[in-house]
Structure 1
Amino acid sequence: MGKSQRRKAGGDQFDSSDADSVSSISTGLLELANDTECLNSQEFELEKYIDDLYEKRGSTREKALSGLVDAFEGHVLFKFVENKFITLLNQYINSIKRGSTKEACLASRAIGLLAITVGAENNAHEIMEESVSHLSQALISGSDARKKSSVLDCLAVVTFVGANDLAETEISLKAMWQVIYPKSGPNVGLVKKLPSTVLAVAISAWSFLLTTISGWRINPDNWKESVAFLFTLLEDNDRSVRVAAGEAIALFFELGILDLHWSDHIDIDSLNHEVLKHGMLPYMQSMKAKILAKANDLSVEAGGKGTDKKKSQ
């Protein structure tokens, strides 16, 4: 009778362990099925968004772009875009060219996220090559401040991720500089004064790209105009513009453009003799002294003095 009870107890113990194992496997399979269903559902939704980008109704495209932006911000969708990035890019560019301000802003953000997702490889370079000319055209073809700001940010990101050399980076830097300093562009008479909000964004985007040129040889003469104009912006009425200009000028110090006598990035012997003959070196040294004096004045404002507290609240 004791043996019978022990057998029964052993049988119960075995059955319980076996049931736990089955339950664990079932739970794992259920979770896997749920994950698979979730992935399939997400991919179906993303494909639907892509289809909606072809719709004529602007509100439908805006909704699709918003959904895609949210998806790319919440997940790493590398596998999804691996063979679709050109299709997405073309539709995003179309939205910038023909869409409303909201649609263009969403599309600009979407292009930046697309470039970041594919990474610093050939695909990112292709995104940059395909989009830079369209983004540059969008900067000069319209006057909407929100659209310009979004396109500037987009241009900075795609160039930062996709550019392979200084020449490619300089194309985007030039397009941005023509927004910052319209007199440097071809359509001087057609350009209206830039709103302070856009000017600050443009300078910040330009400075962001400027950080990438430190590994390449720099000819300081190419930056005389930039240094001089940014210096004038240190007196601008808008604080955000003054801050952006100050940060850009700080980069010139960091890159050694204002310190020609010691910069490792500059080969004095290789500089054009005409440049030296016209006093580029004394000019830069003079600008450096003026900037340092102005920076000392602005340091008071940076500490909170000289600002309108009502405006900052």
Structure 2
Amino acid sequence: MRKAKKKSGRGAQHGNVQPFSDEDASVETLSHCSSFSDVTSVADEGGEASEDAAQEDFQYKLKGFIDSTVDKSAKTRQGALDGLKTAMATRILYEFISERRMTITDSIERSLKKGKGEEQRAAASLACLLCIQLGSGIESEEVFKTLKPVFKNILADGSANVQGRQAVATSLGLCTLVAEDDVLDVRATMECFENLFSRSYARADGSCASISAASSQLHTNALLSWALLLTICTGSQLKDILHKHLPKLPRLLESDDVNMRIAAGETIALLFELARDMDPEFEFDGWDELCDKLTALATDCNKHRAKTDKKKQRSVFRDVLKAVEEGDFQPESIRFGTERMTIDSWLRKRMYDAFREFVGSGMNYHLQANEFIRDVFQLGPPVLVDSATIKAMKISRFERHLHNSAAFKARTKARSKFRDKRSDVGDF
């Protein structure tokens, strides 16, 4: 996973310097994939001149965002950070970003230190997307070297804005996965997370500590980041973690927060999977008691819990119980463009969920075009799809409407004939 990635893509959008909308950054169409350039459709309509003009407009918008990250207005700074986030989530911008990475890093650092709440959240998320764009190499390492002390200070500061701390807890985990090159530093970061989520452990008598909803979310984010870093721990580190933390983690299953219970369950499933990978005969002393807890959560009927929470919880814990009892995982197939990837383990699921949290609906595009993410999921080099293939595969909305309309008429006609036959039978 430790290879520097230097693959660029270009994006195109017309308009003034404003945050992107989902419509501006449509990432679900195959037109994004031709040579991994976002200006393909523009080029088809207006040739190279239109492509160049669109490229200039898009880069002008991005430069405007970068300039606005130092504006006096907190709202303007946050809007600029969010605009850069959306662009990085939906396009490959390696060349543009690489040339300006330290400027962007300085803006992120400034917003993390001086901003509040939403601005810190936007800055922390942008840091992750910057590392995802740069890939696992010297450039992302330089970015992370600057931001890591800031992240850790905010995370450890109990008086800091809790929303900012929540965002940092998530971002620090993914940035460490992408850009940290020292296994000892990975373990040190994990200990920072342990100091947080361990505060949600149930007491020895089974009662839960009184924790606010905001603090519980912070602890949940810390646990999920900790679980993400489990995927890159060394064998000796894993053995130490299993001995130290697996007996304690089931206490989190007693949490009043459904998100914490689910995060704890999935983390336990991941630990069992990693332990059995190292030793197929792995045994856990508290296995029976743990299975009883998981069974109770998989069939939870407590009236004081919301129906939606119970439904979500039961679904997850049925899978977690199978993982612990049988070493089973329910695979999930992800289709992107002309390719397909199977999420076939708790390890791949934790990684996939972590990346998707930041790139959102752009995940399919990054699976196609981002060399670093493809390397993480062992997908090989990006598969180039030519324009002719894209056009042959792509169905316009109008064509889709005509097809659906024709199918509806055919079904109506067939049902009408069937109803006529039934009425004939009834006459006899």
Please report the TM-score for the alignment, with normalisation by the length of structure 1.
0.72
Gaps of 5+ in 1: 1-26, 184-191, 264-283
Instruction: Please give the secondary structure, in 1, of the residue aligned with 2:126.
Output: helix
How far the C-alpha of 1:153 sits from its partner, in A, is 1.5
Distance 1:294 1:29 in 2: 60
Cα deviation, 1:262-301, whole Å, max 9, x if unaligned, reads 46xxxxxxxxxxxxxxxxxxxx842334323322332323
The correspondence for 1:200, drawn from 212, 220, 226, is 220
- Contact 1:111 1:154 (C-alpha < 8 Å) held by counterparts: yes
Distance 2:288 2:92 in 1: 48
Match of 1:121 in 2: 137
**CA distance in structure 2 between the partners assigned to 1:217 and 1:203 by the alignment:** 20
Match of 1:211 among 210, 222, 231: 231
Matched letter for residue 292 of structure 1: C
The yes-or-no answer on 1:233 pairing with 2:249 is: no
Match of 1:247 among 266, 272, 275: 266
Q: Say whether the 8 Å CA contact 2:69–2:107 is kept in structure 1.
A: yes
Output aligned runs, 1:146-225, within 5 Å. Answer: 146-182=163-199, 193=211, 195-213=215-233, 215-218=234-237, 220-225=239-244
Question: Relative to structure 1, is the Cα distance of residues 257 and 139 closer, same or farther in structure 2, using a 3 angstrom cutoff?
Answer: farther
Q: Identify the residue that residue 162 of structure 2 maps to in structure 1.
A: 145
Contact 2:235–2:278 under 8 Å retained in 1? no
Q: Among residues 109, 112, 115, which one is paired with 1:99 in the alignment?
A: 115
- Between 1:229-238 and 1:290-299, the stretch displaced more is 290-299
Q: 1:275 maps to which residue?
A: none
How much has 1:98 moved relative to structure 2?
Answer: 0.7
Paired with 1:261 and 1:75, the residues of 2 have a C-alpha distance of 42
Shift of 1:211: 1.8
Q: Structure 1: how far apart are the matches of 2:277 and 2:60?
A: 55
Cα pair distance change 1:300/1:83, threshold 3 Å: same
2:423 matched residue in structure 1: none
Secondary structure at the aligned position of 2:99 is classed as coil
1:100 is paired with a residue whose SS is coil
Choose 192-201 or 291-300, whichever is displaced more: 192-201
Which amino acid in the other structure matches residue 101 of structure 1?
Answer: G
Show CA shifts across 1:74-101 (max 9, x none).
2111110112112211210210111121
In 1: Cα distance, 2:102 partner to 2:211 partner: 35
Give 1:217 shift: 2.7
When residues 146 and 28 of structure 1 are mapped into structure 2, their CA distance, relative to the original with a 3 A threshold, is closer
Q: Retained in 2: the 8 A contact 1:258–1:285?
A: no
Alignment map for 1:1-313 (pairs within 5 Å): 30-141=46-157, 142-182=159-199, 193=211, 195-213=215-233, 215-218=234-237, 220-256=239-275, 262=281, 285-301=284-300, 305-306=301-302, 308-310=305-307, 312=309
Distance 1:29 1:198, change over 3 A: closer
User: Residue type of the partner of 2:170?
Assistant: D
Q: Which amino acid aligns with 2:188?
A: I
C-alpha change, 1:261 and 1:40, in structure 2 (3 Å) is: closer
Structure 2: which amino acid aligns with 1:210? L
What's the RMSD between the two structures over aligned residues? 3.0
Q: Which secondary structure does the structure 1 equivalent of 2:72 belong to?
A: coil
Matching residue's letter, 2:224: S
d(CA) in 2 for partners of 1:258, 1:293:
24
Deviation at 1:107, TM superposition (A): 0.5
Specify the SS of the correspondent of 2:136.
coil
Residue segments in structure 2 that go unaligned for 5+ positions in a row: 1-42, 201-209, 312-428
What is the Cα deviation at residue 156 of structure 1? 1.3
Q: Deviations over 1:37-68 (max 9, x none)?
A: 11111212212222222223212211211221
> How many angstroms does 1:218 deviate by?
3.0
Pick the structure with more helix per residue: 1
Residues in 1 aligned to 2:255 and 2:45: alpha-carbon distance in whole angstroms:
64
Distance 1:159 1:75 in 2: 22
Q: Which has the higher Rg, Structure 1 or Structure 2?
A: 1
Structure 1 residues 47 and 292, CA gap change in structure 2 (3 angstroms): same
| Counterpart-to-counterpart distance in 2, 1:293 and 1:39 | 59
Structure 2 CA distance for partners of 1:87 and 1:161, relative to 1, 3 Å: same
The answer to which structure, 1 or 2, has the higher relative contact order (CA under 8 A, 6+ apart) is 2
Instruction: Count residues with an aligned counterpart.
Output: 256
SS of the equivalent of 1:80 reads helix
- Deviation track 1:158-179 (CA, whole Å, cap 9, x = no partner) reads 1111122421321221121122
TM-score normalised to structure 2 length: 0.54
